[in-house]
Structure 1
Amino acid sequence: MSTDTHTSAHPAALPLEEQIILVTGGARGLGAAISRAFLAAGAKVAINYRSSAQAAEDLVALYPDTAVAIQADVRDQDQLKAMAAQAKDRFGRPVTTLVNNALVDFSFNGDARSTAEAISAAELSAQFAGSVLAPVAAIQAVLPGMREAGFGRIINIGTNLFQHPVVPYHDYTATKAALLSLTRTFADDLGPEGINVNMVSGGLLRTTDASAATPEAVFDLIAAGTPLRRVTSPGELADAVLFFASPLSRGVTGQNLIVDGGLVKG
């Protein structure tokens, strides 16, 4: 006989209204869509930004009681720790859900990308710092608070490009593939502590700051190849992020959910 009764020391789930969310790169593009979705659902949200102070403050102005803007470069571990502490000070409880969304200095411009013969160690290292080392450091910054709460949700933002490299962005794609591997290994390591770790992977989104350089012809080509015949919006991907933070996903960890209108299967 099945039962939903939870008998361990860890709560199986927390309603979004009781959660403290930290969204890295949460002031612009996809990050802003994720921040807005959590705020609309009643969660308290720490909106991280590096240089987009005005955009972050504009979001906070819409939700002054439940949002706070916090400046930090996600590549700096000390700044990440300070940000986690600031979020706890602001809301009185530690961060319960971390969304690793920040994308450091990258533009989806296929014409300007480095090709196979030209991609450099410096480009790979720069993306590794922003898309692998930074998410790991962010997780480590919020872990003490999640352990204090006996509950945690970590949601990494990935990409469908390593399954379907419609445009071969070598540095971006390689680092997101590494982040998927870490999603699965961290899920195994942290699961016994009541911390679920998952990834949400979009395709090209219409439209974010990062995809603004993408020609309309590319958007149209991708749309034509999807069962839904359209390009996914930031809001649609944000909905999937909320699912992984909500009680509805309490039994799910180590997974990668692709949200791209059906372009990539599994």
Structure 2
Amino acid sequence: MSLPIKDQIVIVSGAGRGLGAAIATAFAREGARVAINYRASRQQAEALAEKIGSGAKAFQADMRSLAETERLVEEVTTHFGAPTTVVHNALADFSFNGDARSKLDALSWAEMAMQLETALQGALNLIQAARPAMERAAFGRVVTIGTNLFQNPVVPYHDYTAAKAALLSLTRTAAAELGPLGITVNMVSGGLLRTTDASSATPEAVFDIIAANTPLRRVTTPDEAADAVLFFASPWARAVTGQNLIVDGGLVFG
């Protein structure tokens, strides 16, 4: 079964800014109704919803809490209808600046756990909350957001990369379990994006190095990464599940 994007009801976690905002905007552009989830970025999320128009609305919930995530799904269902598609983009507070990240000799488990709670626990909560409606409809699309650092760990983002690697494993095991229900689960893994709040601390020289070593000779934008998310939600990906699509201009080959 497939469903055109224009007929989908989409929840994007962490959509108040950065890549999440680009993903929400891309779905709205194609006619979907979009729930813009935010944890703390209320002003940005509401401004984005106002910019998009009646097809979007901001909803607050902390994805680390199953109760709040279930409330989010209930509120979205009341406003738009049952969600068909969820994108887990929420990111724990993070700055993409390698010089400022903890090396292994100083890395604390608290730092690791903070990333795992948002990346992994948040995804589990969102899947569990959205699954009943998807199962009833015999249709669902789940897209998670990963990183090309799996293949190219050139910066010491140990906590971030480990959490995203765990999320990739959950993406694949969830795909295996939910496939018979008509639900696909896939991951889009970008590289450093130009530019989001999280990458704003990245030195300009790093962007230049990445561009010079990328076949397309430029750094991927949030809008370009967002379009890849739409692919997994579209009818063209109806036979694709459990996959990790790297979207970084060819910097890393998967």
- The TM tier, using the shorter chain, reads over 0.9
Q: Which residue of 2 aligns with 1:242?
A: 230
1:24 aligns with 2:10: no
Q: Secondary structure at the match of 1:99?
A: strand
Which sections of structure 2, spanning at least 5 residues, go unmatched?
Answer: none
Matching of residues 1-266 of structure 1 within 5 Å: 12-91=1-80, 93-266=81-254
Amino acid across the alignment from 1:151: F
CA distance in 2: counterparts of 1:181 and 1:63, whole angstroms: 34
Overall identity of the aligned pairs, in %: 62
Aligned length: 254
Give the TM-score of the pair, scaled to structure 2: 0.98
Runs of 4+ off more than 3 Å: none
CA distance in 1: counterparts of 2:2 and 2:124, whole angstroms: 23
CA distance in 1: counterparts of 2:159 and 2:183, whole angstroms: 29
RMSD, aligned CA: 0.8
- Report if aligned partners of 2:186, 2:244 keep a CA contact under 8 Å in 1: yes
Alpha-carbon displacement from aligned partner over 1:117-174 (angstroms, at most 9, x marks no partner): 1111111111111111111111101111111221000000000002101212000000
* Cα offset, 1:63, TM superposition: 3.0
CA distance in 1: counterparts of 2:234 and 2:165, whole angstroms: 25
Which sections of structure 1, spanning at least 5 residues, go unmatched?
Answer: 1-11
- Of Structure 1 and Structure 2, the greater helix share is in 2
- Report if aligned partners of 2:25, 2:52 keep a CA contact under 8 Å in 1: no
Give the TM-score of the pair, scaled to structure 1: 0.94
Alpha-carbon displacement from aligned partner over 1:88-112 (angstroms, at most 9, x marks no partner): 1001x21111000000111111111
- Report if aligned partners of 1:26, 1:32 keep a CA contact under 8 Å in 2: yes
* Cα offset, 1:223, TM superposition: 0.9
Q: Which has the larger radius of gyration?
A: 1
Q: Secondary structure at the match of 1:251?
A: coil
